[in-house]
Structure 1
Amino acid sequence: MRDSGSEHAWSEFVDRWSGRCARDPELATLAQGATVGFGLRHGTDRAEFRFSDGRFATGASAATTESGPEFEVSAPPAEWSRFFEAVPRPPYQSFFGMLMRVSGAEVLGDELVFAQHAHLVRRVLELGREAASGAAAPDARSAPADGAHDGDDRRQAAGHDAVTGRYLHLDVTGSRQRVYYETAGSGRDVLFLHTAGADCAQFHHLLANPALRSRLRMVSFDLPWHGKSPPPPGAVPGSYALDTDTYARTVMALVEELGLRQPIVVGASMAGEICLELAYRHPDRLGGVVACEASDAVPGRQVRWALDPRVNQALFVPEWVDGLMAPQSPPEYRAEVWWGYSQGGHGAFYGDILFYSGDWDGRDRVPHIDTQRCPVVMLTGEYDYSCTPEMSRRTAERIPGAHFAVMPELGHFPHAENPPRFAAHLSDALTTIDTHSPKPEPADDHH
C-alpha cells in the first residue's frame, strides 16, 4: 500500500476504495440482506463502510454515524501495507491469516457481527487491495505453471468424463454405513482423502487428469456425514465429532472392501494428519503416504462460529477457509473450493476440526513411523497459515527417512485450488515413494 503521508492522501485512497465498492457486482451480490457498518483501523487513520438494506451505502475516512461501526478490523500500518500488496506474501493474503499469525491484527468491537459479515469484509478488503495497488491482482489463469496445460480438464470437450461414482455399504465402528466413492484410471492404487468439512468432489479434476489416469487407479470417497455419504442411521444433526480411531478405521475399512492393494494414500489438512497415523498403524498394508499440509499437531484452528446458530454456516465456513488458498491459484478453482465448503452439512466442519485441531496429536507416534516399510512424503503449500511449511518441516524432521518439500504458490488445498500444478508435485512424490519403497509394484491384472 502506498504510504498515506497525510490525512488528505488517506482520504483520497478511501474515496478510490469506496468507488470500487460501489461499482463491484460481486460485493453487490454478497451484500444482499445486509445492514451493517464496519471500519478499518490503520494506525491513526480509519475508514468506515456501511451497507443498508442489502446495498453498499457509504465508504468514508471518518465515522458516518455518532455510534460508529459495529466492529473494526485493525492492524499496524506496516502490516496493512503488506496486506495491500498486489500479490501479498503469506499470511497477508487474508485478514484471517493476519489474525492467526500477525502481531497486532485484531477485531475490535462485536466479534459476532464480524463473523456474520465476514464475506463482506473479505470482499471490501480485496477491493481495497486493488485500490492501493492501482490494479486488480494478476489473473492466475493467464500464467499457468510449467506443464499445467497437461491434463487440465477445464479444456475438456463437452460430454462425459472418465470419473465414475458408486455407493459402498461399509461396516464402521459396529454399524453399516452407506459411503459414496469415485474412481478413475488404471494402474497403481492411489486413495485420496478430502479435507475437513468437504467431500471427494475436491479431487474430481485430478481423477479426470488423463496423464494420471493412464498410470493410476485413483479412488476418492466421502466420509460419513460428508457430501453424498449420509450420517449413520439415527444420528442427530450437529452431533458429529471425528476422532483418530474412527477416522483410521473408516479409511482402512474402505481399503479392504475395495480390495486396494498397497495403496498410496494422499490427503491434505486433517487428511494429511491421518496419512501419518495410517503410516504408523498400517505400514505393511500401504504403499506409502503423501501427507500434505500436515503436522504432528495443529493447535488453534477450532472456531466457535462454525456451529453458532446466529452465524450462517454456509457463508462463514467458506470464508474461514478461503484465505488459506494462494492468491496465484486460478479463480475458478478457488470458487469451487468456496462453493464446496458452502454445501457442507450442519456441524460437519466443526466436527472435523475437533479431530484436526484437537483429538489428533501425533507427537508421540510420528518418530516411530517406519519409512522403510511405508515411505512418507510431506508437502505443504507456501501460503498455508494453518499448518505452515515450517510446522510440516519440523514434523518431517522427526520422522526418520521422511521427505519434505514446500509447494510454491499453493495454499492449504493444493489438490483443489490448483489441480494441474499439484499434479506435478504429486507425480514427483509418487516417484520418490517408488524409489524408496521395498514393495513390488501391483500386478497389472489386479483391476
Structure 2
Amino acid sequence: MTTAWLDTDLARWVETCRDDRELSGLAAAATVTFGIRADDRTALFGFHGGELAEPADDPDFVLVAADADWSEFFQPVPPPAHQNFFGMLMRVPGARVEGSELAMAQHAHIVRRVLELGREAISGPLTAPAAHPARGKAHLRPGYVRISVRGEPVEIFYEEAGAGPDVLLLHTAGADARQYHELMADPALASRCRLVAFDLPGHGRSGLLPGVVPGGYSLTTDQYATAVLAVIDALGLVSPVVSGSSMGGEICLELAHRAPHALGGVIACEASDRVPGRKVPWAKHPAVNESTFVPEWVYGLMAPQSPERCRREVWWGYSQGGFGTFAGDIDFYSGDWDGRERVGEIDTSRCPVIMMTGEYDYSCTPAMSAATARKIPGAVFWPMPDLGHFPMAENPPLFAEHFAAALDRLGIP
C-alpha cells in the first residue's frame, strides 16, 4: 500500500465516518480539525459542533508516521503495536503528534474511531470468530470484609466462585474486580479452584482510603503489597495462588519476593521488573475529560482480534473510575515499582512463578516479560498469541486456556 490510499479510499473513508453512529456519539459538541500524514501526504478530518464538517486549513494537530507504518496500521489484522496510534507512538520509531498534544488528548476518542473506520474503509471489516455469549453472574458470591489501612478500617468488596484451592485475582490499574466476572464463570476453572477477586481500597465498590483527599491518591509498592496480604488474611485464604495483570502482575512478583511463605505461587500476567513510559499528564489534567481519555489510553492495548463486546466493556469500565484513581495506580505501575534488583532473589522453590504476556501488549511487551523471567531462577514464561494487556477481560475463553495451563504447572488439580 502507498499513499495512493489517500486518493482512492479517502472519499469512502469520509462517508463511512459520516454514517457511523458511534462516531456521532463520541464527537458530541466537538469542534476540531486533525490530520493523518503519511510521508508527505496529509488527510484532514474536521468536526464542528459534533458534526463532520469541512476541515480547517490549519489543523489543531497531525498524526505523523511513515507510509509503511500506516500500511501496517490499516491491515485488517495489524501487527502488534500497530493496532492503535498510541501503540505506534510508544513503539514505532518516527510516529509522533505534531501540533497541540493537549488537543490530541482532548479528542483521542474521536481520533481512535476515525482511524478504526479508516481501517474498515481501506481493508474491509475485520472477519473475527463469533463472540462467545456473555455469561451470567448468578454464580458469584459477593461480600465485604474489613481490613486496616494505616490503622483505619476499610471495607473491601470481594466476589468468589467455585470451590477448591484458593486463587486470588487482582485487577488492573484504575479498574475493579468486574474484570474477572466471565473468567470466574468458566465451569472448568470453577470446578477446580475457589476463585476470589476484590476491589482495592478506593476502587469499585470498596471503601475510600482513609485520609486521602480527592486527587491525592498515589499507590506505592508497600501500600499495595500490604493491602493484598491483609485481604488474604481477612478472607482466611490458605496458601493462595495469586494472579494479576498489569500492575496486578507486578505486585505478584513483589509478593513472591516479600511473602513466599503466604502463597502457593503466582501467575504474573503482563508484568516485568520495570515498565517505564506509561505515566501521562493527560490522565488527570483539568482540560482533559478523564472519562474519555483514560479508556482511550488503555483501549489500544487490547488485541484487535478480541471480541468487540469485551473490548467495549473494558473501555466502559475505565470510563467509570473515580477521579485520579487510574493516575494514582500508574504512579505504582510505571513509577514506584522497580523490581530490577529484587526479582532475581525470588525463591521459586518456595513460591513458583508463572509469567504470561499477550503479544499485543505494547506497554509491557512479551520481550520485557521474558527478560524478567530469565532473571528469576525457575520461573516459567510464555507469550499469549491473539491477546493483549487485559487478557482475562478482553477474551476470557482464550485466556482461560492459558490460565488452566498455568494452574497445571502449579499443581492445582
> Same-fold call, TM > 0.5?
yes
TM-score range, shorter-chain basis? Answer: over 0.9
User: What SS does structure 2 have at the residue aligned with 1:187?
Assistant: coil
Matched-pair contact (CA < 8 Å) for 1:101–1:385: yes
Residue 138 (structure 1) aligned with residue 103 (structure 2): no
Using the TM superposition, give the Cα deviation of residue 229 of structure 1 relative to its aligned residue in structure 2, in angstroms: 1.2
Alignment partner, residue 266 of structure 1: 243
Alignment partner, residue 3 of structure 1: 2
**Cα deviation digits, residues 186-232 of structure 1 (max 9, x gap):** 10100000000000000011112222111111110000111011322
CA distance in 2, matches of 1:4, 1:74: 13
Alignment partner, residue 306 of structure 1: 283
| Number of residues of Structure 1 aligned to a counterpart in Structure 2 | 413
Using the TM superposition, give the Cα deviation of residue 235 of structure 1 relative to its aligned residue in structure 2, in angstroms: 2.5
Q: Write out aligned runs for 1:185-204 (5 A).
A: 185-204=162-181
Q: Write out aligned runs for 1:354-393 (5 A).
A: 354-393=331-370
CA distance in 1, matches of 2:286, 2:305: 34
Using the TM superposition, give the Cα deviation of residue 138 of structure 1 relative to its aligned residue in structure 2, in angstroms: 1.8
Residue 323 (structure 1) aligned with residue 300 (structure 2): yes
User: What SS does structure 2 have at the residue aligned with 1:154?
Assistant: coil
**Cα deviation digits, residues 218-272 of structure 1 (max 9, x gap):** 1100001110113224421110000000100000001011110000000000010
Residue 15 (structure 1) aligned with residue 11 (structure 2): yes
Alignment partner, residue 309 of structure 2: 332
Give the letter aligned to residue 425 of structure 1: H
Larger radius of gyration: 1
Matched-pair contact (CA < 8 Å) for 2:149–2:209: no
Residue 287 (structure 1) aligned with residue 277 (structure 2): no
Kindly report structure 1 stretches of 4+ aligned residues shifted beyond 3 Å: none
Q: Write out aligned runs for 1:19-418 (5 A).
A: 19-58=15-54, 64-66=55-57, 68-133=58-123, 135-141=124-130, 154=134, 161-418=138-395
CA distance in 2, matches of 1:286, 1:17: 53
CA distance in 2, matches of 1:286, 1:350: 29
**Cα deviation digits, residues 381-406 of structure 1 (max 9, x gap):** 00000000000000000000000000
User: What SS does structure 1 have at the residue aligned with 2:282?
Assistant: helix
CA distance in 2, matches of 1:155, 1:218: 16
CA distance in 1, matches of 2:212, 2:118: 45
Between stretches 217-226 and 166-175, larger displacement belongs to: 166-175
Matched-pair contact (CA < 8 Å) for 1:139–1:331: no
Matched-pair contact (CA < 8 Å) for 2:46–2:56: no
CA distance in 2, matches of 1:264, 1:93: 33
CA distance in 2, matches of 1:79, 1:278: 40
Q: 1:321 to 1:140 in 2, by over 3 A?
A: farther
Give the letter aligned to residue 127 of structure 2: P
User: What SS does structure 2 have at the residue aligned with 1:434?
Assistant: coil
Matched-pair contact (CA < 8 Å) for 1:153–1:205: no
Using the TM superposition, give the Cα deviation of residue 153 of structure 1 relative to its aligned residue in structure 2, in angstroms: 6.1
Using the TM superposition, give the Cα deviation of residue 11 of structure 1 relative to its aligned residue in structure 2, in angstroms: 2.4
Give the letter aligned to residue 120 of structure 2: E
Alignment partner, residue 428 of structure 1: 405
Matched-pair contact (CA < 8 Å) for 1:263–1:286: yes
Alignment partner, residue 438 of structure 1: none
Using the TM superposition, give the Cα deviation of residue 20 of structure 1 relative to its aligned residue in structure 2, in angstroms: 0.7
User: What SS does structure 1 have at the residue aligned with 2:237?
Assistant: coil
Using the TM superposition, give the Cα deviation of residue 44 of structure 1 relative to its aligned residue in structure 2, in angstroms: 1.2
Matched-pair contact (CA < 8 Å) for 2:135–2:182: no
Matched-pair contact (CA < 8 Å) for 2:249–2:267: yes
Using the TM superposition, give the Cα deviation of residue 164 of structure 1 relative to its aligned residue in structure 2, in angstroms: 1.8
CA distance in 1, matches of 2:381, 2:338: 20
CA distance in 1, matches of 2:209, 2:56: 51
Give the TM-score of the pair, scaled to structure 1.
Answer: 0.90
CA distance in 1, matches of 2:401, 2:368: 23
Using the TM superposition, give the Cα deviation of residue 16 of structure 1 relative to its aligned residue in structure 2, in angstroms: 1.3
Matched-pair contact (CA < 8 Å) for 2:3–2:41: no
Give the TM-score of the pair, scaled to structure 2.
Answer: 0.98
CA distance in 2, matches of 1:173, 1:300: 30
CA distance in 2, matches of 1:51, 1:185: 50
Using the TM superposition, give the Cα deviation of residue 155 of structure 1 relative to its aligned residue in structure 2, in angstroms: 5.4
Unmatched tracts of structure 2, length 5 or more: none
Matched-pair contact (CA < 8 Å) for 1:196–1:352: yes
RMSD: 1.3
Using the TM superposition, give the Cα deviation of residue 141 of structure 1 relative to its aligned residue in structure 2, in angstroms: 2.5
Give the letter aligned to residue 14 of structure 2: S
CA distance in 2, matches of 1:223, 1:112: 31
User: What SS does structure 1 have at the residue aligned with 2:153?
Assistant: strand
Between stretches 262-271 and 160-169, larger displacement belongs to: 160-169
Matched-pair contact (CA < 8 Å) for 2:3–2:38: no
CA distance in 2, matches of 1:353, 1:370: 27
CA distance in 1, matches of 2:98, 2:366: 30
Using the TM superposition, give the Cα deviation of residue 30 of structure 1 relative to its aligned residue in structure 2, in angstroms: 0.7
